[in-house]
Copies of this chain bind each other. A is one copy, B any other.
């Protein structure tokens, strides 16, 4: 049992006893230093932030916050508190004290309690900073990376501004959704008065593998997703395409990565009325095996030159994998790490379902943007999808020491 099982306040008439079990989480933050992680725990510390090349966990809770204070010190203070809480939660501990804090029965608990008794479940918490943070409020204007430019408007975009953007994001991934939800909710609680939830998204199933050790999952169109993804084991490719290098931009981002999120509604009902033939033509891969239409095995390289009996390209010129393939995009690759979502129904008799697309990369201007521009213009898939939300965030490198905190190098 990794989590504290005793809250320290049991039964009636013993309210005073609560104080005995009370632990201020700030005081115990030091426990969560760099150490070899136990099974089902992912180390919070390291050269890179966890949650990027970590083998994609099954569940997601993603949140984008607006900063609602102009007080720089309060913001930094919150980031310190967040870091301590995040490090504890990644160890399967509570964010803070569960009992009456500091002996005051009127003080709210410092952890919300719903993950008590649950394992760490491979929880990772990954932070990113959005373009809005680099306005005049906190003196960060000069530190804004050029790569963190607002995304252009793409043809067909149907973005809801209320579900887009944000000053700070946190991606919580875990194999237990209650653990991911608990983590985000406790960060929001700690951030009261400093940040406010702008939007949040639950993902129930991963739609990508990020490691060769993982089987490729399926998206809600029934196709394997993540086959030709960048994988954790491809370290040379990661250096070229994923991690920001010295000289790419401001130092505080060296070793980090840029995150693009797109909430993409998938129109499953019309899709379910199309034939297998059309579905496979749209992707350029077969549905069963996930092989390119010019190959047999899932990991066969697609051959875009092959033509069929009708002299048409076997992988159509408007097929998703052709348009997204590195050879069609000046070599651009990215690490996809998305999740399936279902948000109920849309009032028109249809499921409100789709893909919460997440991609990490070294420079969105040379990776996500040109690929998405090409997809938005030509992809046959567009008939069945709608991009409804969008975000871009700069995710700094990992923390190497227990006294470091999220954003320190940015605010230094």
Interface residues of A (CB under 8 A from B): 5-13, 15, 18, 59, 61, 63, 66, 68, 98-100, 104-109, 111-117, 162-163, 176-178, 181, 184-185, 188-189, 192, 196-202, 204-205, 215, 217-223, 268-269, 272-277, 279-280, 286-289, 291, 293-296, 306, 308-309, 314-315, 340, 342-345, 347, 349-351, 353
Contact = CB atoms under 8 A, between A and B. Distances in A.
A314 B14 CA distance: 11
Give chain A's interface secondary structure class.
Answer: loop
A286 B343 CA distance: 33
Given A7-B286, A223-B113, A308 B351 contact: no
B288 A9 contact: yes
A274 B108 contact: yes
A201 B351 CA distance: 10
Task: Give the number of copies in the complex.
Answer: 2
Given A11-B295, A345-B200, A105 B277 contact: yes
Given A113-B223, A188-B351, A269-B189, A314 B12 contact: yes
Q: Which of A162, A201, A276 has the most chain B CB within a 10 Å cutoff?
A: A276
A15 B277 contact: yes
Contact of A204 (B7, B177, B269): B177
A291 B105 contact: no
Contacts of A201: 344
Contacts of A115: 218
Nearest to A6: B288
> Would you list the 9 A-B pairs with minimal beta carbon distance, nearest first?
A113-B222, A7-B288, A196-B349, A177-B204, A12-B293, A12-B314, A178-B205, A197-B345, A114-B218
A343 B12 CA distance: 36
Given A275-B107, A294-B12, A181 B204 contact: yes
12 contacts: A7-B288, A9-B287, A100-B275, A100-B276, A104-B275, A108-B272, A116-B288, A162-B347, A199-B344, A200-B351, A202-B343, A343-B343
A79 to B, nearest CB: 18
Contacts of A109: 222, 275-276, 279, 287
A176 to B, nearest CB: 8
Contacts of A344: 163, 199-202, 343
Given A269-B189, A276-B100, A347-B162, A10 B202 contact: no
A196 B350 CA distance: 7
